[in-house]
Amino acid sequence: MYQRNTGRHFCGVHFAADIESRVADTIKIRHMIITGDRVAVALSGGKDSTALLLLLAGLLPIWQDVKLIAITIDEGIAVYREATIRAAEQLACSLGIEHHCISFPDLFGDSLDMFLKGRETQACSICGILRRKALIVGTRQAGATKLATGHNLDDEAQSVLMNVLRGDLPRLSRDSSADSSGRFIPRIKPLSRISEKEIATYLLLKNAWTELPECPYTRYALRREVRSMLSVFEYKHPGTMLNLMASKEKIEHSCAGPVISSLRSCRTCGDPSSGDLCQVCSLLRSLGR
Judged by the rule CB under 8 A, the positions of this chain that interact with other proteins are 1-2, 4, 9, 12, 44-49, 84, 150, 195-197, 200-201, 204-205, 211-215, 218, 224, 227-228, 231-232, 234-235
CB of 14 to other proteins, least distance (A): 13
- As measured in angstroms, the least distance from the Cβ of 151 to other proteins is 11
Whose Cβ is closer to other proteins: residue 66's or residue 135's?
Answer: 135
**Rounded to the nearest whole angstrom, what is the least distance from the CB of residue 285 to other proteins in the complex?**
27
Residue with smaller CB distance to other proteins, 48 or 156: 48
Least distance to other proteins, CB of residue 214, Å: 5
187/281 with CB nearer other proteins: 187
Residue 2: what are its φ and ψ, rounded to 5°?
Answer: -110, 125
Distance CA 250, CA 246 (A): 6
Burial tier of 39 (Cβ tally within 10 Å: 0-12, 13-18, 19+): buried
Q: Which residues contact 67 (CB under 8 A, 6 or more apart)?
A: 37, 38, 39, 98
Show the CA angle centred on residue 107, arms to residues 134 and 216, nearest 5°.
65
| Minimum CB distance to other proteins, residue 191 (Å) | 13
Kindly tell me which of 153 and 259 has the beta carbon lying closer to other proteins: 153
Cβ-based nearer residue to other proteins, 111 or 268: 111
Helix 47-59 vs helix 196-205: angle between axes, to the nearest 10 degrees? Answer: 70
Smallest distance from the beta carbon of 28 to other proteins, in angstroms? 27
Q: Judged by CB, which is closer to other proteins: 195, or 273? A: 195
Q: Return phi, psi of residue 3, to 5°.
A: -100, 105
Nearest 10 degrees: CA dihedral of 154, 155, 156, 160? 100
